[in-house]
Amino acid sequence: MNDQPLIYFDNAATSQKPRQVIEAVKDFYENHNANVHRAVHTLSQEASELYENAHEEVAKFINAKGMEETIFVRGTTEAINLVAYAWGLRNLKKGDEVLVTLMEHHSNIVPWENLSKINGFQVKYAQLNRDGTLDYEDFERMITNKTRLVCMAHVSNVTGVMNDVKRIAKVAHDHKALVLVDGAQSVPHMPVDVKDLDVDFLAFSGHKMLAPTGIGALYGKRDLLEEMEPFHGGGEMIREVSFDPKTKRSIIKWNSLPWKFEAGTPNVGGGVGLMEAVRYLKRIGMETVRKHEEMLTKYAMDQMEQCCDKVEIYGPQDPSIKCGIIPFGFEGLSSHDIALFLDNYGIMVRSGYHCAQPLHELFGLKSSARASFYIYNTREEIDRFAEVLKEIEQF
Amino acid sequence: MGPVEEYVARTDGTCGKDKDVIVTFKYGKKDEVAKKIMRKAKVEKSISNMIFELTFKGYSFRLYASGKTIFRDLKDKEELNALLSELLT
């Protein structure tokens, strides 16, 4: 890349794809492609079986009860919007509160602010400590009997800090509030068990965990999903649409879970890719993934501090509470300057707000550069990264 | 075809409070672009002939060997296009 060996440190934005995933998608389109659940022919049955197996594989990966609790969507953003419009639209009203944190990605802020303008409920923001970690006492104080839903990131996409979702879920449930977790930065990087965390909804994207873009999942507790009305209407999500000549209206019966929430022809190829990505990660083991990234984060933070005086790492300084993400700045340079400098040396990092402007305002930053790691990154790549940072210091 | 259309692949406003503009030149023409710009602008600093801090008619900007430039404090697209036209002609 730019005449240099590629070093990809933008994994919080999207991951690279292993050959096994690419081959699985290719094999699907070459040998099994058909629409699902609509035909009696063999090819459709093969495609349906693959698509259903993909749901089961993803459900097992997060320890959901089964595919009934695992809805395929385009990604985390669509999953959160599904909850907002399928559950929130009918259940949130004036006087209710939705509690989010100031570290959320815009995708876990905007749907709730938008919906509050329709339904009149209030969106409240849990505060953070100066280092960007959650102020748990403030958070817990803000959960009251008015709180209907708590929305929080499992891992911040800016600081990489891991939040104690289990602790907040317990307090929320004590107040009869539901809990929605943005797992975009946790599910790809660490073991996530929805039963252990006791969350009501978990949203995550396939493309950040080795799968293709345009596929992700929403986990929801079965009883909640059964009660919810669909977000999108169309084919696949209905069991029956009959016309009543008396009322001159259609009588509609929803399909069973998870299809009730998957209107239209689904992204079958993406689902096959996600299944293969999950199998790939399971072969490595999510504990191993977590340990590898913790090692890389610690090593990178040490190297960045040692290589030059002009680098500043934002957010918590303890790598053990972080999940493979390091936001940083360089004295005298904007985040975009840093990203362009590194790009010139073949090193890809992100710059800007990372779709989390409120957190940058809290830090008093115009923007930040962000290095984020995954399973294929190495200490040698971090050594090169530190060398280049040192070279930039000479500028 | 004007010089902007001939040499510029994309122009992106940056994300963040800084409203910088990043101009990516067409990959096959990046060396030609670099030569043209270097002939007109003054080199203030550089690293290994890869990254250049340049000034031109009161504007300060950086040029990267990867074929990108970053401009700051420009009012609008017209000002950017006028500046690029001068640099690339």
CATH of the domain at A321: 3.90.1150.10
Number of domains in chain A: 2
A345 CB neighbour count, 10 Å cutoff: 26
**Contact status, residue A213 vs residue A16, Cβ threshold 8 Å:** no
Domain boundaries, chain B: 3-88
Beta bridge partners of B13: B21
* Same structural domain, A290 and A279: no
| Domain region containing A311 | 285-393
* Same structural domain, A319 and A279: no
> For B41-67, what is the HEC assignment?
CEEEEEECCCEEEEEECCEEEEEECCC
Closest residue of chain B to A364, computed from CA coordinates: B17
Mean pLDDT of chain A: 95
Touching A: B residues 69-88, CB under 8 Å: 70
Sheet holding A350-352, edge to edge: A311-313, A325-330, A368-372, A350-352
Q: Is A265 within the bounds of a domain?
A: yes
* Same structural domain, A59 and A140: yes
CA end-to-end distance (rounded Å), chain A: 22
Q: Is A240 within the bounds of a domain?
A: yes
* Same structural domain, A104 and A147: yes
| Predicted confidence band of residue B73 (pLDDT cuts 50, 70, 90) | confident
Q: Is A13 within the bounds of a domain?
A: no
Q: Is A12 within the bounds of a domain?
A: no
Of the residues A283, A306, A321, the one at which a domain ends: A283
The verdict on a CB contact (< 8 Å) between A334 and B18 is: yes
* Same structural domain, A257 and A318: no
Q: What is the DSSP string of A200-267?
A: SEEEEESGGGTSPTT-EEEEE-HHHHHHSPPSS-SSSSEEEEEEETTTTEEEEEEPPTTGGG--SS--
The verdict on a CB contact (< 8 Å) between A340 and B68 is: yes
Of the residues A231, A250, A283, the one at which a domain ends: A283
In this structure, of A93-107, A136-150, B12-26, the range with the lowest mean pLDDT score is B12-26
Q: Is the full-model pTM beyond 0.80?
A: yes
- pLDDT for the residue A366: 86
* Same structural domain, A215 and A316: no
Closest residue of chain B to A390, computed from CA coordinates: B47
For residue A93, with 0-12 CB atoms within 10 Å meaning exposed, 13-18 middle and 19 or more buried, which class applies?
exposed
Min Cα separation B5/chain A (Å): 23
* Same structural domain, A117 and A162: yes
pLDDT digits (tens, 9 = 90+) for A6-39: 999 999 999 999 999 999 999 999 999 999 997 8
Whether chain B has a CB inside 8 Å of the CB on A6: the answer is no
Mean of pLDDT values over A96-113: 96
Predicted confidence (pLDDT) at residue A379 exceeds the cutoff of 80:
yes
**In which region does residue A44 sit, left (phi positive, over 0), alpha (psi from -120 to 50) or beta (all else)?**
alpha
Q: Is A6 within the bounds of a domain?
A: no
* Same structural domain, A277 and A289: no
The residue behind tokens 């017209």 is: B78
Predicted confidence (pLDDT) at residue A364 exceeds the cutoff of 90:
no
CA atoms within a 13 Å half-sphere pointing along the CA-CB vector of B62: 24
Mean of pLDDT values over A32-59: 95
Say if the ipTM goes beyond 0.90.
no
- pLDDT for the residue B17: 77
* Same structural domain, A194 and A310: no
Residues in A touching B70 (Cβ below 8 Å)? 336-337, 340
In this structure, of A174-178, A259-263, A272-276, A360-364, the range with the lowest mean pLDDT score is A360-364
Residues in B touching A345 (Cβ below 8 Å)? 50
* Same structural domain, A340 and A267: no
* Same structural domain, A228 and A164: yes
* Same structural domain, A345 and A381: yes
Of the residues A266, A283, A300, the one at which a domain ends: A283
**Contact status, residue A180 vs residue A149, Cβ threshold 8 Å:** yes
CATH of domain B3-88: 3.30.310
